[in-house]
Structure 1
Amino acid sequence: MARTRQPEVSNDVTRLITQIRAMIGKGEELPPERLLADQLKVKRHRLRLALETMRDAAELPRPIIRRNDSPVLKSDVVVQGTNALEVIELRIVLEPAIARLAAVRASPVQIAKILEAATTPQGVTRTIGDIAFHKLLADSSGNQLAASLYAFLRRVGSDHRLHVPTASAITSERIQQRDQEHRAIAEAIAARSPDAAEQAMRQHLRRVQREIADRLNPLETA
């Protein structure tokens, strides 16, 4: 049976894809289609072609089909009853499983992006680089519910009311340590080793947990 020929991507759609990749590479969250089309100054049908092409290539997750517009949980409400330690505790529960799934299900394109994102690019802040890496893993897990839970959890954790001040500046050594931990996770996923990916993620988040606890209780660790 003859293979179905894939439609060619026009030059303007290719340029759009390049722009969207650049936004994602900076750790930016893509806004809704209408706002993104206005931001990129393109017609929405052209934007949809670009987004669909990226989804077919596993560069973007498929959109969630919402059955209603009234989410049970709202991050603004949840923030009022939690703290930074609870956020990292839940991340330790969720993200090792996400890393395990990514080691089994991530596509070659996604693995290449994970390996690249494991090292913080020049000009990208530590926070944005961290979120971009972990989001790639969640999107590569093949489990849309897990990816949505992760996105919600990070939205809660990034709220300014849960910010934990640090007494010292972010040094290059600390960024290198974080990148080294990210690379261990990425390499385990690339090797298709779910056990190693899960373990590396858990070790990484345990270290983050200790760092947060030290910042919240500096006198106990002085």
Structure 2
Amino acid sequence: MSTDKTEGLVDHLREMLQSSSELAPERILAEQFNVSRHTLRKALKTLRGAGDLPAAKSGRRANTDASPASARLVQSTNPLEVMEMRLMIEPALARLAAMRASPDEISRIFQTAQSPDNLSPAQADQDFHRAVAAGSRNSLASELHILLHRVQNDARLRFTDSDTDSRTTEERVKARDAEHHMIAEAIAQRDPIKAEKAMYDHLELTQRKLMGLGLRSGDVI
């Protein structure tokens, strides 16, 4: 299958995931799209790298282990620790993306930088950060990033009520999209230093909000 057709398969699978959190077994999907298992697995790998699909489980233990790593971590961490880790990892991912992301990955980063009307503000934000992580071309760092977001999304670790979708103002969404576009532009310009700083500044604003620190001139919450 050509690269264009593989990308088309990825798009179709991503659309399916918007209406369901799980996909049908590989055999059924391969028959549905009339593709080989090899081609299907390449598309699934792309989705996992972008954070749109959980990592594949394998082995007998995968069938019996009902306690994912994120559930265990929730018991021993807090929102401040999550943000500290995001500030350490995500600026580095943006830096790597500026050096390594393919044209298609950069296009995806730009696409997710604008919050669509059919997604909640929280989901739109996560889609952007997952796209940047995928563009870093570092699978281990991408997995750590996905794990952090899963821990952060646990109801027991909600930052504050002001972070819920119902209280995310239109002004904040616009400001956040503008911050995302700055990161995307730096990545597209292949400027790793600028991309790293833009991501750090973007996340630092969230951290300041979480810690209840005063805003700086120009900050929008």
TM-score band (shorter)? 0.7 to 0.9
The Cα shift of 1:158 comes to: 0.6
The Cα shift of 1:137 comes to: 0.9
Aligned residues with identical type, % of pairs:
35
Of 90, 96, 101, the residue aligned with 1:95 is: 90
Alignment length (residue pairs): 202
Asked whether the 8 Å contact 2:16–2:23 carries over to 1, the reply is no
Q: Which amino acid aligns with 2:12?
A: Q
Aligned position for 1:219: none
SS in 2 for 1:93: helix
Higher share in helix: 2
Asked whether the 8 Å contact 2:30–2:37 carries over to 1, the reply is no
Q: Distance in 1 between matches of 2:115 and 2:74?
A: 28
Q: Which amino acid aligns with 2:175?
A: Q
Q: Which amino acid aligns with 2:80?
A: L
Show structure 1 runs of 5+ residues with no match.
Answer: 1-6, 216-222
Q: Distance in 1 between matches of 2:171 and 2:147?
A: 30
Q: Which amino acid aligns with 1:101?
A: L
RMSD between aligned residues: 3.7
Of 128, 143, 146, the residue aligned with 2:138 is: 143
Q: Which amino acid aligns with 1:141?
A: S
Q: Deviations over 1:129-165 (max 9, x none)?
A: 0110001111111110000110111111110100133
My pick for the range that moved more, 58-67 or 194-203, is: 58-67
Shift of the 73–169 alpha-carbon distance from structure 1 to 2, 3 Å rule, reads closer
TM-score w.r.t. the length of structure 1 is 0.75
Q: Distance in 2 between matches of 1:14 and 1:102?
A: 19
> Any runs of at least 4 consecutive aligned residues in structure 1 with deviations exceeding 6 A, and if so which?
62-68
Of 160, 165, 175, the residue aligned with 1:165 is: 160
Asked whether the 8 Å contact 1:51–1:60 carries over to 2, the reply is no
Aligned position for 1:176: 174
Aligned position for 1:218: none
Q: Distance in 2 between matches of 1:89 and 1:212?
A: 11
The Cα shift of 1:77 comes to: 1.4
Q: Larger Rg: 1 or 2?
A: 1
Shift of the 137–15 alpha-carbon distance from structure 1 to 2, 3 Å rule, reads closer
1:81-120 to 2 correspondences below 5 Å: 81-120=76-115
Shift of the 53–66 alpha-carbon distance from structure 1 to 2, 3 Å rule, reads closer
Aligned position for 1:61: 49
Show structure 2 runs of 5+ residues with no match.
Answer: 214-221
The Cα shift of 1:42 comes to: 4.9
Q: Deviations over 1:193-220 (max 9, x none)?
A: 00000000000000010112229xxxxx
Q: Distance in 1 between matches of 2:97 and 2:20?
A: 20
Asked whether the 8 Å contact 2:109–2:131 carries over to 1, the reply is yes
2:12 paired with 1:22: no
Q: Distance in 2 between matches of 1:199 and 1:159?
A: 28
Q: Deviations over 1:21-45 (max 9, x none)?
A: 4356x5x8963662x776x795597
Asked whether the 8 Å contact 1:99–1:197 carries over to 2, the reply is yes
Q: Distance in 2 between matches of 1:116 and 1:190?
A: 12
Q: Deviations over 1:56-100 (max 9, x none)?
A: 9x6763977979857x97211110111111101110000000000
The Cα shift of 1:8 comes to: 5.6
Q: Distance in 1 between matches of 2:138 and 2:188?
A: 18
Shift of the 87–16 alpha-carbon distance from structure 1 to 2, 3 Å rule, reads same
